[in-house]
Structure formats: structure tokens, C-alpha cells
């Protein structure tokens, strides 16, 4: 499908102060929109001024949550060039999410072209400061007006972008978490591996309770035995135990994170042992008692690497690496952000130049 139309805004907005971006609070001047009907497939692709969309109150997404989304970033490189980071992976995952939610998939090449065109048009929204970036949020919603529970026949794909700074206002300072033993984020056979709003909606109550108790996030356990670690907050999770880095294996209820995949690949590239397998909470606390739990960190597009400095499980509370960021966590953060920002070599060919 061709990109049909570009309508540029006649009222460009003033840019926010780069020191106060936070995460996802400001939006650039344009957005990409395309429609889907069962008769015409994806059609009417257009880039138009960013603004409210019109939906019928009966739009199916508002009732049954048929939605998928992605998150990726564009960076301004050292010589003014614009880099994306492994965008084909996000598109592949979006199609996987679409499949799980009964939403029609998109043509990967067309989608990449749409992202690049939008980022180019709003290129002056890519922050100048190297630690900031332009967050790209593609999403698909079921727009058909109908209250029947079934796959919709009409959808809209939108891409919006937002200049962002650090996801956590505390930056790389290690966070405190507790093991969530009441709520679960996802179950086997559910939608945990898809990037869809429902997984995030179901995590919010637990997150609010954690915050009210002074913790940043919860450590999610599996939905069957509530024994195996799955994710931390909205991120994948890694532990360094006696020199080996371990992360829960993908089991259908864990999100296949692109930063997760990049961390595994980078560790292998460096020759640091890394294993994907089931990990229990007992095992971690035991490793801590034996002085073997060296580092813990979350991974995601928004924060990249988020060190975990303290963890509580029932009555037991432990500190990890004396509450400081670990050597491997720090090296991963510097390397992945260095590649994204175009500051260092890209040995695994992850940068995508627009």
C-alpha cells in the first residue's frame, strides 16, 4: 500500500524544555494513520497533524480491548543522522501481537516506511541531548461500532511520537521491588507474550499498591504455581548469580523484549555466560544468602536497563550489590545506549539509519 497523503501542520507547536521531558508527556506535530476494513484491507495511509481522533462510543476497542501497541525510539546520531534500533524486531512483534489478538497484520516493509517517513517529517522533534530520544508508539485499535464479542472488521493503525528523557525520574539509581504474591500479570495460554493494553491494565493495581508501600515495582511470578519469576514491572528481568547471567525463559506469558534479546546477544558477544531458564524466587534468595546474587536488573525500551537494588519477599528483605548498579548492568547500559546514540561501534548491526 502506498502512503497516500501528507498534510503538514500549519501550527507547529513549540518544543518542550529538554531538561524536563520526562516520559510520554509531549507529542510531536504529526501522526500516521491508516484504516482497515475487511473489504479493502489496510488503506488510506496518511500523515496528518497530531490531534484528537474520532471514535464511535460503540467502537469495539473501548469494550473488549482489542488493541496492540509497540514502543521504539529514534536517536539523533553524532553527525546529525537519525538512527532507529532494530525496528524490524518491533514490527515482527507487532504482527505476533496482532495474531494473538485477532487483529489483521501489517506488511512489515510498509510499516517500516511509515515509521521512517513520520520520524523524518518530525525530525526536529528528536531531542538534541544524547540521553534523550524520540519515543515512537505505533498502535492498532478495533474501531468497528459493534457490541458483539468477536474480531472487529474495522481497525485503525496510528503512530504517534513523543520526545522523552529517562523513564524513571531517578534515572539509573537502583529501584526497590517486592515479590508479588497476590496478583498475576499473565497466565499460560493468555496474552502475556503479546504487547497489548490488557496486560498493562491488569498490572496497574499491583503497581499502585507497591508504590503506596514505597516500592517502585513488583516482581511478577507465573500464574500457575506463583513460584517462577516472569517479569519486573513492565520489563523483562535478569539476575547475575555467581558470574552467570540468568533470565526467565520465554514461555508464552513473558513479553519477548527486544532489549531482552539485545542483552542476551551482547552478553554472548562479550563471552559472559547467559542462560534462559526457569528461575524461582527461593533460588534467588538462597543465592543471596550464599553471597552469590551479584546483580539484578530490568530491561525494556523505555528505561533500557533498570538496576534493582533491593528486593522483598514476604518477611525477607535483601539488598543487591549494596544497592549500587552492578558492573555488568552498567556496561550493558553504556553499550546499548552507545550503539543507539551512534557513539560507539555497532558489532551486531542493530542500528538502522533513516
Give me the residues that bind ligand COI (CB under 6 A), please: 71, 234-235, 300-303
Task: Find the shortest distance in angstroms from Cβ 21 to ligand COI.
Answer: 14
**Residue 28 CB-half CA count within 13 A:** 28
In the complex with ligand COI, the residue whose CB is nearer, 12 or 252, is 252
- What does the alpha-carbon distance between residue 153 and residue 47 come to, in Å, rounded to a whole number? 23
Q: Which of 127, 156, 179 is nearest to 48 (CA)?
A: 156
In the complex with ligand COI, the residue whose CB is nearer, 28 or 234, is 234
Task: Find the shortest distance in angstroms from Cβ 234 to ligand COI.
Answer: 4
Task: Find the shortest distance in angstroms from Cβ 196 to ligand COI.
Answer: 11
Task: Find the shortest distance in angstroms from Cβ 83 to ligand COI.
Answer: 17
Residues 6+ apart with CB under 8 A from 322: none
- What does the alpha-carbon distance between residue 118 and residue 109 come to, in Å, rounded to a whole number? 14
Task: Find the shortest distance in angstroms from Cβ 217 to ligand COI.
Answer: 11
Q: Which of 17, 3, 9, 86 is nearest to 46 (CA)?
A: 3
Q: Which residue's CB comes closest to ligand COI? A: 300
Q: Are 163 and 132 in contact (CB under 8 A)?
A: yes
Sequential DSSP letters for 279-327? -BHHHHHHHHHTT-EEEEEEEETTTEEEEEEEEEETTEEEESGGGSPPH
In the complex with ligand COI, the residue whose CB is nearer, 190 or 256, is 256
In the complex with ligand COI, the residue whose CB is nearer, 234 or 321, is 234
In the complex with ligand COI, the residue whose CB is nearer, 122 or 231, is 231
Amino acid at each position: 500500500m502506498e502512503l497516500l497523503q501528507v498534510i503538514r501542520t500549519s501550527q507547529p507547536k513549540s518544543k518542550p524544555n529538554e531538561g524536563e521531558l520526562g516520559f510520554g508527556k509531549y507529542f510531536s506535530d504529526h501522526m500516521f494513520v491508516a484504516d482497515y476494513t475487511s473489504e479493502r484491507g489496510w488503506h488510506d495511509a496518511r500523515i496528518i497533524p497530531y490531534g484528537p481522533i474520532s471514535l464511535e462510543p460503540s467502537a469495539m476497542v473501548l469494550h473488549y480491548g482489542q488493541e496492540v501497541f509497540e514502543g521504539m525510539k529514534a536517536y539523533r546520531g553524532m553527525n546529525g543522522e537519525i538512527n532507529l534500533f532494530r525496528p524490524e524486531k518491533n514490527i515482527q512483534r507487532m504482527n505476533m501481537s496482532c495474531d494473538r489478538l485477532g487483529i489483521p497484520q501489517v506488511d512489515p516493509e510498509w510499516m517500516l516506511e511509515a515509521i521512517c517517513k513520520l520520524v523524518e517529517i518530525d525530525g526536529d522533534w528528536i531531542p538534541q541531548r544524547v540521553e534523550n530520544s524520540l519515543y515512537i508508539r505505533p498502535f492498532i485499535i478495533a474501531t468497528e461500532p459493534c457490541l458483539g464479542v468477536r474480531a472487529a472488521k474495522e481497525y485503525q493503525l496510528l503512530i504517534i511520537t513523543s520526545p522523552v528523557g529517562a523513564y524513571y525520574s531517578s534515572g539509573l539509581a537502583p529501584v526497590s521491588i517486592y515479590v508479588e504474591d497476590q496478583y498475576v500479570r499473565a497466565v499460560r495460554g493468555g496474552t502475556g507474550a503479546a504487547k497489548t493494553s490488557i496486560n498493562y491494565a491488569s498490572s496497574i493495581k499491583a503497581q499502585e499498591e507497591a508504590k503506596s508501600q514505597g516500592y517502585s515495582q513488583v516482581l511478577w511470578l507465573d500464574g500457575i504455581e506463583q513460584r517462577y519469576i516472569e517479569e519486573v514491572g513492565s520489563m523483562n528481568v535478569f539476575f547475575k548469580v555467581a558470574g552467570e547471567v540468568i533470565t526467565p525463559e520465554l514461555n508464552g506469558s513473558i513479553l519477548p523484549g527486544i532489549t531482552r534479546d539485545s542483552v542476551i546477544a551482547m552478553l554472548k558477544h562479550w563471552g559472559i555466560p547467559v542462560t534462559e531458564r526457569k528461575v524461582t524466587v527461593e533460588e534467588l534468595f538462597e543465592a543471596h544468602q550464599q553471597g552469590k546474587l551479584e546483580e539484578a536488573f530490568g530491561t525494556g525500551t523505555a528505561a533500557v536497563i533498570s538496576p534493582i537494588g533491593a528486593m522483598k519477599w514476604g518477611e525477607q528483605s535483601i539488598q543487591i550489590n549494596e544497592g549500587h548498579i552492578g558492573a555488568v548492568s552498567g556496561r550493558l547500559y553504556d553499550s546499548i545506549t552507545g550503539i543507539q546514540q551512534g557513539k560507539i561501534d555497532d558489532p551486531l548491526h542493530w542500528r538502522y539509519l533513516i
